[in-house]
Amino acid sequence: MSNRFLTRGRYLSIVFVAGIAASVAGIGALLASDHQDTPEVEINPRMDINDVYAFPGSSPDRVALVMTTSSPIAGQNASFDPDLLYQLKIDNGGDAREDVVFQITFNSGTGSAQQVTVVGPVGPASTGTSNTLVNSTVVVEGAVNTALGSPTGVQVFAGLRADPFFIDLEQFFKILPDRRPSTGPLSSPSTQTAQQFRNPGVDLLRPFNALAIVIEVPKAQLVSSTAADAKFGVWATISR
């Protein structure tokens, strides 16, 4: 990632939770999760967006945006990919095209020695499936696993966290057997089929970690108007 002006970006993975709508008054629904959703990200987990979250921040005028990647991580030895561009994208006009983006990159350190660099919120240099590094001032930079930035401005945490998503995956593959992974203990066809989840279920992801990128920012930096019901949509991409 030495060239900060990539003119083309390869589309890898986009729009897992494209429909999160947030207003100044409150925040709407979560729609989907996508762990290991294609063979390419299954064998390259650092390209894999797991989930995107948006929820109220530490004060009423702030919002937290989160992307998780790389789950499931067993243990604590994991690093962000220094050759990938991680982005959180915001549409505040209702046309599903990004109006502002956060661009997050990492240096070539490993584990807890790694550094994160955040640019944004800033207008994108390209939109849609083309991803270009913007020529803009670095807003936050520092070590992973640390709360960085300003509590009244852009605040960032990037690092290892327990994967907050939960699923009874063993039962899921009995319900939808064609979604089985190609490798690992759950790749073998089950002799049983099922129509529904178990009660109580078993959270397969409970012992596993993810790499999280968490950005808290004043809502005013994301929305396009000062109206009390101003809304935005948020999604994430990873590209190279």
Taking the complex as a whole, how short is the minimal distance between the CB of residue 21 and Ca ion, in angstroms?
13
Smaller CB distance to Ca ion: residue 48 or 168? 48
Listing DSSP states for the chain in one string gives: ---S--S---EEEE-SSTTEEEESS-B-------SS-SHHHHH-GGG-EEEEEEEE-SSTTEEEEEEEEEEEE-SS-----TT-EEEEEEE-SSSSS-SEEEEEEE-S--GGG-EEEEEEEE--SS-TT--------EEEEEETTS-EE-TTS-EEEEEEEE------HHHHHHHSGGG--SSSGGGSPPS---SS--SS---TTTT-EEEEEEEEEEGGGT-SS--TT-EEEEEEEEE-
Smaller CB distance to Ca ion: residue 56 or 93? 93
Smaller CB distance to Ca ion: residue 151 or 184? 184
Smaller CB distance to Ca ion: residue 157 or 232? 232
Taking the complex as a whole, how short is the minimal distance between the CB of residue 151 and Ca ion, in angstroms?
28
Smaller CB distance to Ca ion: residue 50 or 155? 50
Taking the complex as a whole, how short is the minimal distance between the CB of residue 152 and Ca ion, in angstroms?
26
Smaller CB distance to Ca ion: residue 122 or 194? 122
Taking the complex as a whole, how short is the minimal distance between the CB of residue 136 and Ca ion, in angstroms?
18
Binding site for Ca ion (CB under 5 A): 34, 37, 48-49, 91, 93, 95, 97, 99
CA distances from residue 173 to 74, 180, 185, 188, 192 in whole angstroms, order as listed = 21, 6, 12, 10, 10
Taking the complex as a whole, how short is the minimal distance between the CB of residue 3 and Ca ion, in angstroms?
26
Taking the complex as a whole, how short is the minimal distance between the CB of residue 192 and Ca ion, in angstroms?
27
